Chains A and B, each alone.
Chain A
Amino acid sequence: MSTYLQNLGHSVLDFFERLGRGHLFLWQLLLGLPLLLRRFSLVIQQLHSVGVLTLLITLVAGLFVGMVLGLQGYNTLVDFGAEESLGVMVALTLVRELGPVVAGLLFAGRAGSALTAEIGLMKATEQLSGLEMMAVDPFKRILAPRFLAGFIALPLLALMFSAIGVMGGYLVGVQLLGIDEGAFWSQMHAKVDFVEDVLNGVIKSVVFGLVITWIALFEGYDAMPTSEGVSRATTRTVVHASLAILGLDFVLTALMFGS
């Protein structure tokens, strides 16, 4: 019994210690951001690796999600004779929920895991120590640009996910199932509010981008500098970031649309 309590105590202490380290890490990341105003090229490079390289998977996933929404939505709406509202349904589902959430999950799987592995391996191969000894702060030179890039890339990816998702819904609803094209677009245009729907979706993806990139970079930086340590850290990034997205999505949805 006492061993069990001891282990429990250790786990709780470890958890809070790690949480503290994570927040100190975030603080150092934020301190590194002002330098990037002078060297924005560092962020551009990272935008390519975390953003552009995640684009294809995001677009393909967005197209299929939109097509599935079109098909499922049509089957339900047609029973009520409301199939012309398909455009609204697809667009609202995407910009409010699926765009930020699914793009966030894909981002965590594709870019988040890559960031953790990259930083973890840089630690394992002493590249981060090497930078420190060359009087180059790894937070400013390596971590902050990646953090800012993740923060910028995810909202853009989520918007593109939603946009191509709407096109997927259009392909299935209008081109395949024969809904009136004018009704599809005009209802969407009338019912989707820019601030209420699109902007709230963007705010969600900004929060997700921040949290995913923070988790990914911290896990890499905090990884045991061995191949097993990096592999565990990469797994933790995907698991923790995915759970954080889903949990935060509920909180943000409640705050934004709860009333």
Chain B
Amino acid sequence: MENNANLIKIRGLHFSRGERKIFDGVNMDIPRGKVTAIMGPSGTGKTTLLKLIGAQLQPDQGSLVVDGQDVHRIPKKSLYQLRQKMGMLFQSGALLTDLNVYENVAFPLREHTQLPESLIRPLVLTRLHSVGLRGARDLMTSALSGGMARRVALARALIMDPMMIMYDEPFTGQDPISMGVLVELIRTVNDALNLTSIIVSHDVPETLSIADYAYVISNGKVVAHGSPQQLWQSESEWVKQFLDGRADGPVPFHYPAADYQQDLLATAKV
């Protein structure tokens, strides 16, 4: 019988870019109604994982089941229906630059429904109000700060009442106030709308402060997972280095290189 407690089930996921292996047999379960964090060093494939969940990329092997449907094996029409229930917040916001804030948030409604403007307007304004930007509805996207753009993108992602939202590095490059606002919003929105949230991030304290469960991935594998408390108490040197942000440890400070002394002498000979 299918375990309904997990919205997403990833089994034996393999994915490569050219020669480089990004995922080497990853297994993960994302529980319904919770905030799950996926953390790991830069370039470890966290964003790629979100694109695999959204079926924008095809894995080499393995299965990825979202709400009971294997996203890489269903027809395009079913995939597009499923995507209407999956919100995604891109790092840049991915707002349409030729539309203003109001039209950006209204965009999915205009594309997928035949609702009259008299219904679209209150729906858009309530979503904008929930992210604190009802007053910014007439601004063009170029007039928004990075944090505001992400909040507008969040309002847009919420407009179709999705079952889940994927956040791609939501805290990167934010000032402390914007960061605080986003942290608060992600948790509040998740609980108020009974969503499932996946946060991909390497901002450890902020992410773990709101996550119910977290996975740490590195070199294509899940190296640790558990509740934030379990991760903080982890005995693994690697996890300790990552969470505490130490410069040297199992992940070496130095990029692999020839012997230092020999290297210097070789330079001297030239």
Q: Interface on A for B, CB 8 Å cutoff? A: 125-127, 129-130, 132-137, 141
Stretch from B92-100, B172-180, B211-219 forming part of the interface with A: B92-100
Q: Which 9 A-B pairs have the closest CB atoms?
A: A130-B94, A135-B83, A126-B94, A133-B88, A135-B80, A135-B84, A126-B90, A134-B108, A136-B111
Given A125-B97, A136-B111, A141-B111, verify A130-B83 contact (CB < 8 Å): no
Closest to A45 in B: B98
Expressed in whole angstroms, the Cα–Cα distance for A63 and B67 within the complex equals 63
A75 CB, nearest partner CB in chain B, Å = 49
Given A125-B94, A125-B97, A126-B92, verify A133-B107 contact (CB < 8 Å): no
Closest to B94 in A: A130
Is B31 at the interface (CB under 8 A from chain A)? no
Expressed in whole angstroms, the Cα–Cα distance for A59 and B54 within the complex equals 47
Closest to A137 in B: B80
Is B112 at the interface (CB under 8 A from chain A)? yes
Is B81 at the interface (CB under 8 A from chain A)? yes
B72 CB, nearest partner CB in chain A, Å = 14
B166 CB, nearest partner CB in chain A, Å = 8
A76 CB, nearest partner CB in chain B, Å = 49
Indicate if the CB atoms of B90 and A134 lie closer than 8 Å: no
Given A134-B108, A136-B111, A141-B111, verify A129-B83 contact (CB < 8 Å): no
Indicate if the CB atoms of A133 and B56 lie closer than 8 Å: yes
Expressed in whole angstroms, the Cα–Cα distance for A130 and B168 within the complex equals 12
Is B86 at the interface (CB under 8 A from chain A)? yes
Q: Which residues of A contact B153 (CB under 8 A)?
A: 130
Given A125-B97, A127-B97, A129-B56, verify A134-B107 contact (CB < 8 Å): yes
Q: Please tell me which one of the listed residues A129, A135, A141 contacts residue B94 in the complex, with CB atoms under 8 A apart.
A: A129
A135 CB, nearest partner CB in chain B, Å = 4
Indicate if the CB atoms of B81 and A130 lie closer than 8 Å: no
Indicate if the CB atoms of A135 and B92 lie closer than 8 Å: no
A115 CB, nearest partner CB in chain B, Å = 13
> In chain B, residues 202-241, which have Cβ atoms closer than 8 Å to a Cβ of chain A?
none
B65 CB, nearest partner CB in chain A, Å = 18
Q: Which residues of A contact B56 (CB under 8 A)?
A: 129, 132-133
Expressed in whole angstroms, the Cα–Cα distance for A79 and B207 within the complex equals 85
Q: Which residues of B contact A132 (CB under 8 A)?
A: 54, 56, 83
- Using A134-B84, A136-B111 as known contacts, list a sample of 18 further A-B pairs with CB atoms less than 8 Å apart, ordered by residue number in A: A125-B97, A126-B90, A126-B91, A127-B95, A129-B90, A129-B94, A130-B88, A130-B90, A130-B94, A132-B83, A133-B88, A134-B83, A134-B107, A135-B83, A135-B108, A135-B111, A137-B80, A141-B111
Closest to A133 in B: B88
Give 16 A-B contacts (CB < 8 Å), ordered by A residue. A126-B91, A126-B92, A126-B94, A127-B95, A129-B51, A129-B90, A130-B90, A130-B96, A132-B54, A133-B83, A134-B83, A134-B111, A135-B80, A135-B83, A137-B80, A141-B111
Q: Which residues of A contact B95 (CB under 8 A)?
A: 127, 130
Expressed in whole angstroms, the Cα–Cα distance for A24 and B83 within the complex equals 24
Closest to A121 in B: B97
Q: Which residues of B contact A136 (CB under 8 A)?
A: 107-108, 111
Q: Which residues of A contact B87 (CB under 8 A)?
A: 133
Count chain A CB atoms within 10 A of each CB in B83, B90, B94, B97 and give the residue with the most.
B94
A35 CB, nearest partner CB in chain B, Å = 11
Closest to B159 in A: A134
Expressed in whole angstroms, the Cα–Cα distance for A137 and B81 within the complex equals 12
- Scoring B residues 240 to 269 as 1 if CB is less than 8 Å from chain A, else 0, what string do you get? 000000000000000000000000000000
Expressed in whole angstroms, the Cα–Cα distance for A187 and B61 within the complex equals 73
